[in-house]
């Protein structure tokens, strides 16, 4: 039966070609969002003297971790000093300016050197208030830094080659079936 031998050889050869095509074209590219931690200095060792009060502000996005660090000294002596430190958003700042009671994000009364952290809840202008109004005798020298930490998502291309794993077995099986079809003895039936 030559027909049987031809179909076995053709089937094996087809499987071999299919395996080669899978190896050549069996991968695809897709994109994923990958989190990338970032940090940025808003104020970097900003040095100033506080008489009554000093105010600095920064526009911050939501879900940003904000770290405020300050060193407070008495300028004349260089000795450690204390100061009132507050952080608030725009609404709280307007209340503070009007002398109203404010619910601060951070409120530190008569604090010395500090290292404070909070997370912004919404996009807003945040105010960093240094209040020295309680100290009529001494001005305060402040060295102040603010660093923000956030996660940025970037699109990253990735390649999936899992389909190629089917190409190798298809090639091996195709070779075996093709060889089997070529060397198989032809059966002759007498009728």
How confident is the prediction along the chain (191 residues), in pLDDT tens digits per residue?
445 577 777 888 888 888 888 888 888 888 999 999 999 999 999 999 998 999 999 999 999 999 999 999 998 888 999 999 999 998 999 999 998 999 999 999 999 999 999 999 999 999 999 999 998 788 999 999 999 999 988 999 888 888 778 888 888 888 888 888 777 766 666 66
H or E element in which residue 69 lies: strand 65-73
Q: In this structure, is residue 136 part of a structural domain?
A: yes
Domain around 113: 33-155
Q: Could you tell me if 23 and 42 lie in one domain?
A: no
Q: How far apart are CA 128 and CA 20, in angstroms?
A: 65
Q: In this structure, is residue 162 part of a structural domain?
A: no
Q: How far apart are CA 3 and CA 9, in angstroms?
A: 10
Q: Could you tell me if 21 and 99 lie in one domain?
A: no
Q: Could you tell me if 141 and 51 lie in one domain?
A: yes
Q: In this structure, is residue 8 part of a structural domain?
A: yes
Q: Could you tell me if 13 and 58 lie in one domain?
A: no
Q: Could you tell me if 82 and 146 lie in one domain?
A: yes
Number of separate domains in the chain: 2
Cα-to-chain-centroid distance, residue 167: 36
H or E element in which residue 170 lies: helix 164-183
């Amino acid at each position: 039966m030559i027909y049987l031998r031809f179909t076995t050889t053709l089937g094996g050869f087809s499987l071999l070609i299919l395996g080669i095509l899978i190896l050549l074209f069996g991968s695809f590219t897709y994109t994923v969002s990958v989190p990338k931690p970032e940090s940025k200095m808003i104020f970097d060792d900003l040095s100033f003297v506080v008489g009554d009060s000093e105010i600095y502000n920064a526009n911050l996005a939501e879900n940003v971790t904000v770290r405020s660090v300050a060193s407070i000294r008495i300028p004349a002596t260089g000795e450690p000093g204390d100061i009132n430190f507050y952080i608030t958003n725009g609404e709280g700042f307007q209340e503070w300016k009007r002398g109203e009671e404010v619910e601060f994000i951070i409120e530190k009364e008569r604090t010395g050197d500090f290292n404070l952290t909070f997370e912004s809840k919404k996009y807003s202008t945040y105010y960093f208030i240094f209040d020295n109004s309680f100290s009529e005798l001494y001005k305060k020298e402040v060295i102040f830094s603010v660093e923000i930490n956030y996660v940025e998502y970037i699109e990253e291309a990735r390649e999936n080659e899992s389909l190629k794993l089917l190409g190798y077995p298809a090639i091996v099986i195709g070779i075996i079936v093709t060889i089997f079809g070529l060397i198989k003895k032809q059966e002759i039936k007498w009728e």
